[in-house]
A = this chain, B = another copy of it.
Amino acid sequence: MTNQLDSIEEIMLMGPGPSCVFPEVYQALSKPTIGHLDPKFISIMDEIKQLLQELMKTDNRLTIPVSGTGSAGMETCFVNLVEPGDDVLIIKNGVFGMRMEDVAGRLGANVDVVEFEWGTPVIPEKVKEKLDKKSYTIVGIVHAETSTGVRNPVEEVAKLLEGTDTLYLVDTVTSLGGIPVKADEWNVDAMYSGTQKCLSCPPGLSPITFSDRAVDKLKNRKTKVPNWYLDLSMIVNYWEGSSRAYHHTAPINMLYGLYQSLVNILTEGLENVFDRHMEVHLQLADNLESIGIEMFVDKDFRLPMLNAVKIPEGVDEASVRKQLLEDHRIEIGAGLGPLAGKIWRIGIMGHTAGKENIDRLMKALRVVLKS
């Protein structure tokens, strides 16, 4: 029997995630598995919580990684906070806003949507018009819309909710660890991310944080959370306190990986990490422009870590991606939904965000586009 793992080669991951993994994280993943109730492991869990608080800029006690990918983080935030009949407003300008709408709807929320064109940012004034007409239990927004490369004005929308009881739910799957994310300063009540983007860890975990207001809403639910696996009211008893009640067996080795990636990022320093992403992004945008490839998003709202670029006329886009992967071992991403065939998504997330990687991509791209 041929073992397929033997032929796995290193790929430069420049798609929308997973990103290139830190070498130290690979080492962490293969450390010996220990028990999920071993005091040594509990101590690692405690430090993961602290490191996540630092990364997310929050003092929220309920700051933990959920045992699933970024989408499980989205599910966790909604399923713990939504009760049937709750009025929820979703701010939508891409795939992940659509997903929020779907998730909230499945949980019995009355979902309203305020929508913006894909590739353009959320306009706070339009959101305000909605908020003036109706009060919402929850407002959900995506910080970094991975499907379009747009950075949404999360801080400005936060200001619209000041003084209300509305819970503010923010998707930071692609932004966390790449651009500033300030959960407390922005009065975010529920936030989730993923490990496979700017954290440069393989996919599999979703860091989340809940404010005290969100925890209150959870504690005062009329009905049980309709999802046993992601019920935070039980999960916290494993992540907090002295008794550490077993809920589900934690994904030990993935948590080693997350621990190591947080150590890497915070050792480099958050500001340095953000600067590195921005520098490499500017280099990429400049280089692409020099060969006639335009950016899809207006300069002021571009995400440095997820670059949506217009596919040049007459180019067979799938063939370019295939050649980059097969001949140059570089992965870039296709467009999703209405943007399929119109854009490529070039990720420079976390460990991928290095100048030499842009040089390698540009060299390959020149070869492929000429062929």
A residues whose Cβ falls under 8 Å from a Cβ of B: 1, 3-5, 7-11, 13, 15, 17-18, 20-21, 26-36, 38, 40, 43-44, 47, 67-72, 74-75, 79, 99, 102-103, 105-108, 194, 196, 202-204, 224-229, 246-254, 256-257, 259-260, 263, 267, 325, 331, 336
Measured CB to CB, the closest approach of chain B to A33, in angstroms, equals: 5
CB neighbours of A203 from chain B (8 A):
36, 249-252
The 3 lowest CB-CB distance pairs between A and B, nearest first, are A204-B251, A71-B248, A202-B253
Q: A229 vs B250: C-alpha distance in the bound complex, in angstroms?
A: 18
Q: A105 vs B228: C-alpha distance in the bound complex, in angstroms?
A: 10
Measured CB to CB, the closest approach of chain B to A252, in angstroms, equals: 5
CB neighbours of A227 from chain B (8 A):
75, 79, 106, 227
CB neighbours of A47 from chain B (8 A):
4
Q: A64 vs B279: C-alpha distance in the bound complex, in angstroms?
A: 41
Q: Are A248 and B69 in contact (CB under 8 A)?
A: yes
Residue from B18, B67, B106, B260 in contact with A204 in the complex, judged by beta carbons closer than 8 Å: B67
A17-B249, A204-B67, A228-B106 are known contacts. Are A28 and B5 too (CB-CB below 8 A)? yes
Q: A103 vs B8: C-alpha distance in the bound complex, in angstroms?
A: 39
Q: Are B71 and A253 in contact (CB under 8 A)?
A: no
List 4 other contacts, CB 8 Å, given A13-B33, A253-B257: A18-B33, A18-B249, A74-B228, A106-B226
**Max chain B CB contacts within 10 Å: which of A105, A204, A226?**
A204
CB neighbours of A70 from chain B (8 A):
248-249
Return the chain B residue nearest A103 by Cβ. B228
Q: Are A8 and B35 in contact (CB under 8 A)?
A: no
Return the chain B residue nearest A48 by Cβ. B4
Q: Are A228 and B102 in contact (CB under 8 A)?
A: yes
Q: Are B15 and A35 in contact (CB under 8 A)?
A: yes
**Max chain B CB contacts within 10 Å: which of A29, A260, A263?**
A29
Copies in the complex: 2
Measured CB to CB, the closest approach of chain B to A254, in angstroms, equals: 6
Return the chain B residue nearest A100 by Cβ. B228
Q: A225 vs B3: C-alpha distance in the bound complex, in angstroms?
A: 36
CB neighbours of A229 from chain B (8 A):
68, 71-72, 74-75
**Max chain B CB contacts within 10 Å: which of A3, A20, A259?**
A3
Q: List 6 A-B contacts (CB under 8 A).
A: A4-B43, A8-B34, A20-B33, A68-B68, A68-B72, A103-B228
Residue from B3, B249, B254 in contact with A263 in the complex, judged by beta carbons closer than 8 Å: B3
Measured CB to CB, the closest approach of chain B to A23, in angstroms, equals: 10
Residue from B17, B32, B68, B246 in contact with A67 in the complex, judged by beta carbons closer than 8 Å: B68
Q: Are A202 and B251 in contact (CB under 8 A)?
A: yes
A47-B4, A102-B228, A249-B203 are known contacts. Are A21 and B33 too (CB-CB below 8 A)? yes
Q: Are B254 and A204 in contact (CB under 8 A)?
A: yes
Q: Are B4 and A32 in contact (CB under 8 A)?
A: no
Q: A330 vs B237: C-alpha distance in the bound complex, in angstroms?
A: 25
Q: A20 vs B34: C-alpha distance in the bound complex, in angstroms?
A: 8
Q: A92 vs B227: C-alpha distance in the bound complex, in angstroms?
A: 20
Q: A43 vs B4: C-alpha distance in the bound complex, in angstroms?
A: 8
CB neighbours of A252 from chain B (8 A):
18, 202-203
Measured CB to CB, the closest approach of chain B to A239, in angstroms, equals: 15
Measured CB to CB, the closest approach of chain B to A330, in angstroms, equals: 11
CB neighbours of A18 from chain B (8 A):
33-36, 249, 252
Q: Are A5 and B256 in contact (CB under 8 A)?
A: yes
